[in-house]
Structure 1
Amino acid sequence: MQAAHTLTPSQLSEFLLQVATVRPVFIWGPPGIGKSALVQQFAADVGLDCVSLLGSQLAPEDLIGVPQIEAGVSRFCPPSMIARQAPYCLFLDELNACSQEVQKAFYSLIHERRIGDYRLPEGSIVIGAGNRAQDAAIVKPMSSALINRMVHVQLRVSASEWLAWAKAHGLHPLVIEYLEQRPDHLWSPPPKHEEPFSTPRTWHMLSDALHAWGESLPPVGAEALAMGCLSPNHAAQFKAFGKLAGDRHRLDAILKGDARWPHEPHDRDLLYFLTQAFRARLIKQLPEDRRALSGDVQTFVHRAKALLKDLAQISLEMARLVVAPAEAGTEEAALPGWFLVEVIRDLPRLAAQGNG
């Protein structure tokens, strides 16, 4: 199952505050985007302890406990981490990775907030979370009875919210600066084969490793860290970005006319990074409807087409990357159609002017 409506982390926090206090909520989303951290922060914000159970590691007796004889009558005693006296937030992580037997053990806990004779204290909150079937994670079909006991919502990545969080929590400047230029690289879909892929979690991991290594980090170490945490394409571009060192605003300089595209063979990785950053800047700044162009954006359009012509003279392959269609199966946006039409119309004329 996939919940139809998606929320950013800040929107989900408000949603939990209004809904989870009265009904159990299930959060869907791909790995590494912060579902667990968000629930833990929510519990802290409302003043409750957060007890996390990992569904993929549970057996039924971990919930219902084992039978004990009291006054000649057997009764099940749930574990102490669940059977608490004070209200708390019970977080059922990877709930849809449970076996069917464990899922059934959750029925009364989720719907009636009860396990055997034990009831969750008044004011307790139950929240579940899990990955989607398309995420290549360990998931099992969730029974209709369990689905029907919760309110479902899907969490989506927000680059702006994550960057604000990253700055407030002191993540490595290189990670922050890179993602400010390439916010579309914060998350990538899980690959169909075994290789690292980019998520907010892996960027946080990379930041921790960069902080730990410090100023003595050699280029080979930086490359190994990037390749070990990020999607291969993102890792290559992060490596190129690191080579910019004290000149990490090269694209702004190129757009202003204060610098040129790098053209030496050994700068090909830099050129590739700047090409992709140029495409991302175009997607961000160009409106879908040409009639919405302001004077400043019109000037930017003229400059962009001239830069595209210059780039094509260095590498036709790189120029084609700028105007290529969005890749199928990704959430990457495409360039506006009117801009592509103008590029096709104007590039021969611009090239002729350049040769004059």
Structure 2
Amino acid sequence: MKLSQAKNIVMASIDSQIQHANGRDAERVIPYLIGGAGLGKTSVVQQIAEEREHGCYILSLAQFDAAELAGIIALVDGEAKRIMPHWLAKITEMASKMEAVYLFGDELPQAPVSNQNVWAQVVNERRIGEFKLPDNVAIVAAGNRTSDRAGTNTMPTHLRDRLMFLECEADLETTIAYFMAHGVHEDVTGFLRSRPEFLHKFDRDANASPSPRSWDRVATILGWGLDAVCEAEAISGQVGRAACADFMGYRKLKATMPDLDKIISNPDSAEIPSDAMVLYALAAGLSHKMNKSNAGNIIKYLKRLDAQEFAAFTVKDAVNRDQTLKQSEAVRQWILSDGKQLIL
């Protein structure tokens, strides 16, 4: 399924878990996101937390030994007692200050089987020994596929039985929305719109291959100020040579597009490119520049485009970057008239 669909299921599960925190275990359905490396599974859960202003505690299950995860047994006043593990103490503190907190068990299949057995009790009973999770904590887990050779272990059957497996695949719209909200470089978002097949091409035998996570890192590399040769090598080392070659070709075409400031100043007479790749770059550039004061002029220009899907890309991505644009009269009118069918 698409990540956007998985996100909807995870949100419903979170609400149900908190509502039925003290109910039957069948009422607390725990989602487990499974998919290729770099897909954006962790980002989906973080995005839900950000949108709802909830907390998110990432517990990397492969980085602990079983005693750390379950809480060590220590002699207290002459009696052997379990000490509350650090992660549970931390999430209890977060839950006391927030409406809700998500306990995100990451790298589940990479964790040793002993850790997976500990996690099984957390999932099923919401506790470690005598220490219970707060009622406003919801549980989500994620991991890679065994076929990806990501150092996974076979999951015990009793743990598998306690999880809802959501097999995820890359989703362009979810990825672009996340990138726009986090200020990822316009060259990355524009390229992925023009060549969506390069969003996620995970190759378990390659040192580098394109994925949402690796493209996010490419945006960071673009800010390093490297010369052209070094920049290309760095990007190739992140997404692989094939994806890098196409990306660099896109950037060369982008250099031929009309000046964005001139478009905004003169929307009625500014040049309209004929090359589709240049139009993708144009849409990405305008979506990064749109604000409440220039939205009217940008939309006036977009209405002149023959291929109105580029107008939809521009407005949708601009709103994902800046939610206050929904309040712009120009944006609202465009959505109600020209854009309603294109965006939905």
Question: Normalising to structure 1: TM-score of the pair?
Answer: 0.63
| Structure 2 residue aligned with 1:210 | 222
Deviation readout 1:213-240 (Å, 9 max, x if unpaired): 2xxx432023112211112211111122
Q: Give the SS at the match of 1:53.
A: strand
| Structure 1 residue aligned with 2:173 | 160
Unaligned runs of 5+ in 2: 18-27, 259-272, 277-305, 308-344
Deviation readout 1:107-151 (Å, 9 max, x if unpaired): 211100110110111121111100001222121110111101111
Unaligned runs of 5+ in 1: 1-5, 256-295, 298-356
Shift of the 245–254 alpha-carbon distance from structure 1 to 2, 3 Å rule, reads closer
Counterparts of residues 193-342 of structure 1 (less than 5 Å)? 194-213=206-225, 217-247=226-256, 253=274
Q: Which amino acid counterpart does residue 69 of structure 2 have in structure 1?
A: L
Q: Give the SS at the match of 1:166.
A: helix
Q: Determine whether 1:75 maps to 2:88.
A: no
Q: Give the SS at the match of 1:27.
A: strand
| Structure 2 residue aligned with 1:97 | 110
Distance in structure 2 (CA, Å) of the matches to 1:167 and 1:126: 27
Distance in structure 2 (CA, Å) of the matches to 1:168 and 1:50: 18
Aligned residues: CA RMSD = 2.4
Distance in structure 2 (CA, Å) of the matches to 1:181 and 1:44: 28
Identical-residue share of aligned pairs (%): 26
| Structure 1 residue aligned with 2:59 | 53
Q: Determine whether 1:10 maps to 2:4.
A: yes
Shift of the 14–55 alpha-carbon distance from structure 1 to 2, 3 Å rule, reads same
Give the CA deviation at 1:79.
Answer: 1.7
Deviation readout 1:51-104 (Å, 9 max, x if unpaired): 211122121111221112345431211223313253632111001111111111
Distance in structure 1 (CA, Å) of the matches to 2:182 and 2:129: 42
| Structure 1 residue aligned with 2:129 | 116
Shift of the 129–72 alpha-carbon distance from structure 1 to 2, 3 Å rule, reads same
8 Å contact from structure 1 (residues 226, 238) kept in 2: no
Distance in structure 1 (CA, Å) of the matches to 2:174 and 2:224: 25
Q: Determine whether 1:187 maps to 2:200.
A: yes
| Structure 1 residue aligned with 2:332 | none
Deviates more, 1:201-210 or 1:172-181: 172-181
Q: Which amino acid counterpart does residue 125 of structure 1 have in structure 2?
A: A
Distance in structure 2 (CA, Å) of the matches to 1:161 and 1:107: 30
Distance in structure 2 (CA, Å) of the matches to 1:52 and 1:164: 22
Shift of the 206–106 alpha-carbon distance from structure 1 to 2, 3 Å rule, reads same
Q: Which one of 146, 153, 164 corresponds to residue 133 of structure 1? A: 146
Aligned length: 245
Q: Which amino acid counterpart does residue 77 of structure 1 have in structure 2?
A: I
Distance in structure 2 (CA, Å) of the matches to 1:237 and 1:224: 13
8 Å contact from structure 2 (residues 185, 219) kept in 1: yes
| Structure 2 residue aligned with 1:150 | 163
Counterparts of residues 16-27 of structure 1 (less than 5 Å)? 16-20=10-14, 21=17, 22-27=28-33
Give the CA deviation at 1:248.
Answer: 5.8
Q: Which one of 54, 63, 70 corresponds to residue 64 of structure 1? A: 70
Distance in structure 1 (CA, Å) of the matches to 2:74 and 2:137: 26
Larger Rg: 1
| Structure 1 residue aligned with 2:39 | 33
Give the CA deviation at 1:184.
Answer: 1.1
